Amino acid sequence: MSREGSRGDAACAARIGSVVLGCYELRSLIGQGGMGAVYEARHLRLGRRVAVKVVRPGLADDAKVLARFEQEALSAGALESEHIPAVIDFARDESAAPCLVMEYLEGKNLAQLLEAEGPLPIARAVDIIRQACRGLGVAHAAGIVHRDLKPSNLLLCRRSDGSDLVKIVDFGIAKVMKPHESPADTTTGATLGTPHYMSPEQARGEKSIDQRTDIYALGAILYELLTATKPHPGDTYNAIIYHILSKEPAPVREVRPLVPEGLARIVHRALSREADDRPSSIDELAASLGPYAPDGGDRLGSSDTTLQSSGSVSASSPASASRTRLAAAFVAGVLLTGGVVALLRSPRPREAEARTRAESPQPETTSPASVPAAHEAPSARDAPVPPPPDASRSARGAAGGPVASPPRTAPRAGSSPAAAHTVAAPAPQPSSRFELRNPYQ
């Protein structure tokens, strides 16, 4: 660290305990940036916690830095979105240093989250980027380009239901797109953007920067959320810039094969080297990510078990996980019960075979002696033919006695075997008495 940097840090720490703008007591140092330091503060009369950003002491006399700081305050203050911290106040303190008062936020930034957990579940990573798209959509509609999007500038807070709430912070080098803006108006003398997330046009130092540079940065952040690696690696600033300008990122699916192919195409399109090849607007990028978000991509991410988030920024609340397990257990129980019932109701093999034999028509088989002659009929009624009498019993001739079965007629020559078993249809007789004869004579 340089001597000037050490002095600046010491001066920032020395402000803790002081009161700015007459009512905000600086309680602790939250962080420092290129232009200023951010403190946790408390309103002396209301007791409300706020965040106060103050220009670093070494830059308080730089007219360009002061103009940029004021531009950030005025541009961010005009934006109304749940994904952009609300600006409460802006003024100069007793030392003439400008102070920006914003809502106080608690949470982790994405850089801290990636360091703690590695690659995020696919649906959660997509949801975070889509929330950032909604916040940037408000900024772009107001003609503001962030130009310094990176994981550390996306703060992950918690809603009352435990879900993620993304806040876009640090509009310190934001560019306000104005009609008839000249190239000199964008020069600040400071590094614009963070190398790993710079668009190629930023890396080349071009002046014509528009909202598509933010789209590129979001593509680089989503790449890192999915793979835990940066799309453009490098150990030095120049190595990173060279990679951005001359090489393509490694395919997402080579690093993490579980990423759906369609989502991988969206990521690489956002990282296109030419701005015209990227989505034309932040809304278009958000819409293309819709099918992979939690409300529309559960089916796509159901097999993604690479990493489950945990702790204060878990992917899902314990209650949600419990409901999911209960639902799975219920479905498994229903399927098991249905299978048992079906098994009990199905007939056993032997019973099924017996039932089939009972229900199927049986062919009529008779002994040769039980087939009547064609010119005789056993009865005038539709009664079944009784079995042939025993050979030792003589036929009774009394009326009303047992009737013997008619004799069988031998098959005619040339007739088929089936014809030999054909039983002649009974024919009505004029008399109720029959002439009985012994079929065995």
Length of the chain: 441
Contact between residue 221 and residue 154 where contact means Cβ atoms under 8 Å apart: yes
Distance CA 325, CA 320 (A): 9
Number of Cβ atoms within 10 Å of the Cβ of 310: 10
d(CA 385, CA 365): 12
CA distances for 209 relative to 25, 152, 213, angstroms:
39, 22, 7
Report helix, strand or coil for 92.
Answer: strand
Question: Given its phi and psi angles, is residue 411 left (phi above 0), alpha (psi -120 to 50 degrees) or beta?
Answer: beta
Give the whole-angstrom CA distance, residue 56 versus residue 243. Answer: 33
CA distances from 422 to 73, 248, 360, 368, 412 (A): 110, 91, 20, 11, 12
Query: How far is it, in rounded angstroms, from Cα 362 to Cα 368?
Result: 18
At residue 377, what is the residue type?
Answer: A
CB atoms within 10 A of CB 285: 26
DSSP element (H, E) containing 111: helix 110-117
Cα distances (angstroms) measured from residue 128 to each of 102, 117, 255, 396: 22, 15, 20, 105
Could you give the angle at which helices 122-141 and 282-289 cross, rounded to 10 degrees?
160
Find out whether 110 and 225 touch, Cβ atoms under 8 Å: yes
Q: Which residues of 288-301 are buried (b: 16+ CB within 10 A; e: fewer)?
A: bbebbbbeebeebb
Tokens representing residue 280 in the block: 């034309």
| Among the listed residues 208, 188, 165, 155, the one whose alpha carbon sits nearest the alpha carbon of residue 70 | 188
Residues paired with residue 91 on neighbouring β-strands, in sequence order: 99
Enter the tokens of residue 192.
């614009």
Q: Catalytic: which of 148, 170, 214, 304? A: 148
Active site residue 390: no
Catalytic residue set: 148
